[in-house]
Amino acid sequence: MAKTILIIEDEEAIQGVVKAFLEDEGYNVVLASDGLEGMEKFREYHPDLILLDLMLPKMNGFSVCEAIRKESQVPIIMLTALDDDASQMKGFDALADDYITKPFSVKELCARVRAVIRRKEYLSPVQDEVLTCGPISVNTAARRCLKNGEPVELTMKEFDLLVMLMRNAGRVLTRDALLDKVWGLEYFGDARTVDVHIRYLRQKIEDEPDNPRLVVTLRGVGYRFASAEDLK
């Protein structure tokens, strides 16, 4: 069954070009021209992925993203003309899965769409799966993380990264492997993205982020989540 993609974008030219390419790729495409219409179409069509412009009339992209996250974990790729780190990280903090900066190649955008959908399928929660190691407990279906029984607020990427590490506790995962599984095989960024998100994750789950016991670095190789034996 063809997957449905919702494009929330107020520029008709971009809407038309992206819609044509995605339909050629076999997707069903739904269009919305402002944030409020986007929320209506999201609730009506239950899309498999959303392309969300940042600068929208009536309700901006960050607000739309935050509102959707209160109802759904549908993958969201943000489209932004703001090419600065603060804006990009604010997008991630609002729980978007990825972003792409305008002007962009439509072929690259389609590759990002495929990568995010594939990653979502790979990281789909296992029913009743609860991962526990030391003070950290993760419920993959509820997308909930606890440390010593207290909730830990994680972004989408931080949560997916933690799940991947905990599912492979005791095993070394290279940066490239983490990029493939968490960001997608066709991710266009750089492996340092993994290091940045590991740093943020450590700040939230480690007692001493500068002297980590849970997420251990193997210099020049990658990262390993501590096994139960390591924490005894």
Is a pLDDT exceeding 80 seen at residue 42?
A: yes
Amino acid (one-letter) located at 94: A
Asked if the structure places residue 231 within a domain, the reply is no
Helix (H, G, I), strand (E, B) or coil at 230: coil
Is a pLDDT exceeding 80 seen at residue 41?
A: yes
Q: Do residues 86 and 156 share a domain?
A: no
The domain that holds 104 is classified in CATH as: 3.40.50.2300
Is a pLDDT exceeding 60 seen at residue 183?
A: yes
Model confidence band, residue 43 (pLDDT cutoffs 50, 70, 90): very high
Query: Of the residues 122, 152, 168, which one is the last residue of a structural domain?
Result: 122
Containing domain of residue 216, as a range? 130-225
User: Which two three-digit tokens encode residue 97?
Assistant: 């899965």
Beta bridge partners of 98: 77
Q: Do residues 97 and 12 share a domain?
A: yes
CA dihedral 16, 53, 66, 205 (to 10 degrees): 120
Model confidence band, residue 188 (pLDDT cutoffs 50, 70, 90): low
Side-chain-side CA neighbours of 23 within 13 Å: the count stands at 10
Q: What's the chain's average pLDDT?
A: 84
The domain that holds 140 is classified in CATH as: 1.10.10.10
Q: Do residues 112 and 18 share a domain?
A: yes
Asked if the structure places residue 230 within a domain, the reply is no
Q: Do residues 71 and 156 share a domain?
A: no
Is a pLDDT exceeding 80 seen at residue 1?
A: no
More confident residue, 108 or 29: 29
For the stretch 44-102, pLDDT in tens is 999 999 999 888 999 988 889 889 988 888 889 888 776 545 555 555 555 777 778 77
Query: Of the residues 122, 139, 161, which one is the last residue of a structural domain?
Result: 122
Q: Do residues 37 and 64 share a domain?
A: yes
Q: Do residues 41 and 105 share a domain?
A: yes
As for how many domains the chain has, the answer is: 2
Residues 131, 167: contact at Cβ < 8 Å?
A: yes
Model confidence band, residue 229 (pLDDT cutoffs 50, 70, 90): confident
Query: Of the residues 101, 122, 143, which one is the last residue of a structural domain?
Result: 122
Q: Do residues 109 and 13 share a domain?
A: yes
* Residue 190: per-residue pLDDT: 60
Q: Cα-flanking dihedrals φ and ψ of residue 186, to 5°?
A: -105, 25
N-term to C-term CA, the chain: 48
For the stretch 19-29, pLDDT in tens is 998 998 889 99
